[in-house]
Amino acid sequence: MKTIMSNQATIGFRTKVQHYTDADGVRREYLIVPELKRHHCDMGAFRQHARYGSYANSDLFPGMLKRIRSERFGESGWLKLHAVPDGVSVDTSGFLARVTIAV
């Protein structure tokens, strides 16, 4: 599991681990990333963020969250557990996986 610095703005959610078999017959795990909304965000940290601070309370913020999701996970919105992107941590120790995205 990758560590994330605590002074960064974070987006967090919990979701169920899914399974699929790739073309080589290897069973893999993935998560479906939901549409990111304000309630997923640490809004206090986002308001202090150098890049997103001035937009945190604006109508443009949901579009920025959509772009963050697309950049990190592609258009499919799958987070493949064998290829976790930088700035993303996944804790699968509980019934639901806890995902934290640092921006």
Please write the tens of the pLDDT for every residue from 8-43: 899 999 999 999 999 999 999 999 999 999 999 999
Beta strands in 2-103 (DSSP E): 10-15, 18-21, 27-32, 78-80, 88-91, 97-102
On whether residue 55 sits in a domain, the answer given is yes
Task: Look up the domain containing 37 and give its range.
Answer: 10-102
Query: Phi and psi at residue 29, in whole multiples of 5°?
Result: -115, 145
Residue 4 placed within a domain: no
Would you say residue 66 lies in a domain?
Answer: yes
Residue 24 included in any domain: yes
Work out how many domains the chain is built from and give that number: 1
Q: Model confidence over 43-57: pLDDT tens digits?
A: 999 999 999 999 999
Q: What percent of the chain has pLDDT over 90?
A: 91
pLDDT at position 1 is 47
Residue 61 within a domain: yes
Q: Is residue 5 part of a domain?
A: no
Does residue 1 lie in a domain region?
Answer: no
Residue 3 lies in a domain: no
